[in-house]
């Protein structure tokens, strides 16, 4: 066959379904913007006119970093994140096992565990905090309970997904050798998921550290309570000083966590 007779394949074009999806998303975005009366000019106007919040952002009170009360509030936030991660994340390993066929041979119990975790995961951490603040009052306890359930839901989901994709060979070998249920999980399953599980705990700690600051806004303790104190007094320079301090710490913790998780997985 001569070179002139060779047919160069055409570049694949966008399928009709893809074009329809893009067009539908574009139209839906325009309709939504009209429905909510979105106005870019209004946003620009609001940020360019005299604004106490923006003024505070331009001149944050960095002395809050050295304030004893602010340091104490942040330490409380760190303690909440650690306790919530350890307690909720620790229980999540057991729940993740119970949600699998090889970890829990009782069918109805697997369904209960999976549905229970779905319900917990559907409730945001801020709503958990509001519920517990109403139930037990303001302070550290409602924040800890909220982070406990939040950690348990997130880490259970991630660990369950990992368990669904593990190698079944070691499990079959352990059963063939006559190992019991606990022995099989310890020798054939746990070594396969332990690095990923440790990574999920670190990720949960990052989430809890951020969430604990927000929980304080509703009276659940931590640095959020300090931020809410200054916000209520309209002292925005102090608010932004605390936010800047919190941002720097979260950034450093996240970088450290990412480095550790890359070595684990």
Which residue's structure tokens are 């000083």?
A: 241
Which pLDDT band, with edges at 50, 70 and 90, does 265 fall under?
Answer: low
Say yes or no: 87 and 205 in one domain: yes
Instruction: Report the pLDDT value the prediction gives residue 6, as an integer from 0 to 100.
Output: 52
Count of the separate structural domains present in the chain: 2
Quick one: 96 and 227 in the same domain?
A: yes
pLDDT of 131 > 80? The answer is yes
At 195, is the pLDDT very low, low, confident or very high (cuts 50, 70, 90)?
confident
Residue 244 lies in a domain: yes
Q: Is 9 contained in some domain?
A: no
Residues 27 and 147 reside in one and the same domain: no
State whether 190 and 166 are in the same domain: yes
Q: Is 223 a domain residue?
A: yes
- List the domain range (segments joined by +) for residue 133: 55-264
* 28 and 126 in a common domain: no
CA pair distance 66, 57, nearest whole angstrom:
18
Residue 264 has a pLDDT of 66
What is the pTM assigned to this prediction?
0.73
Task: Tell me the CATH number at 183.
Answer: 1.10.3720.10
Percent of the chain past pLDDT 90, that is, above it, reads 0
Same domain, 88 and 125: yes
Token pair for 244: 């800047």
37 lies in the same domain as 161: no
One domain for residues 146 and 185: yes
Looking at the structure, tell me whether residues 62 and 187 fall in a common domain: yes
- pLDDT at position 184 over 80: no
Q: Which residues contact 180 (CB under 8 A, 6 or more apart)?
A: none
């Amino acid at each position: 066959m001569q070179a002139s007779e060779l047919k160069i394949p055409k570049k694949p074009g966008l399928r009709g379904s893809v074009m329809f999806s893009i067009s539908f998303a574009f139209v839906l975005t325009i309709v939504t913007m009209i429905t909510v009366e979105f106005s870019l000019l209004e946003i620009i106007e609001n940020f360019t006119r005299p604004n106490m919040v923006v003024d505070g952002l331009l001149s944050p009170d960095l002395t809050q970093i050295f304030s004893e009360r602010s340091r104490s509030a942040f330490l409380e936030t760190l303690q909440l994140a650690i306790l919530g991660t350890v307690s909720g994340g620790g229980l999540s390993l057991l729940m993740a096992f119970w949600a699998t066929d090889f970890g829990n041979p009782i069918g109805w119990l697997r369904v209960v565990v999976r549905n229970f975790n779905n319900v917990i995961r559907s409730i945001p951490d801020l709503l958990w905090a509001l519920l517990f603040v109403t139930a037990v009052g303001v302070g550290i306890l409602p924040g800890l309970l909220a982070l406990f359930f939040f950690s348990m839901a997130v880490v259970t989901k991630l660990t369950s997904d990992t368990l669904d994709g593990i190698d079944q060979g070691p499990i079959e070998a352990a059963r063939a050798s006559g190992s019991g249920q606990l022995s099989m999980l310890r020798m054939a399953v746990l070594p396969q998921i332990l690095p990923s599980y440790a990574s999920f705990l670190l990720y949960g700690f990052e989430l809890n550290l951020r969430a604990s600051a927000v929980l304080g806004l509703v009276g659940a303790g931590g640095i959020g309570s300090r931020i809410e104190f200054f916000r209520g007094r309209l002292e925005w320079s102090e608010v932004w000083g605390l936010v800047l301090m919190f941002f720097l710490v979260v950034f450093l913790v996240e970088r450290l966590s990412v480095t550790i998780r890359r070595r684990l997985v």
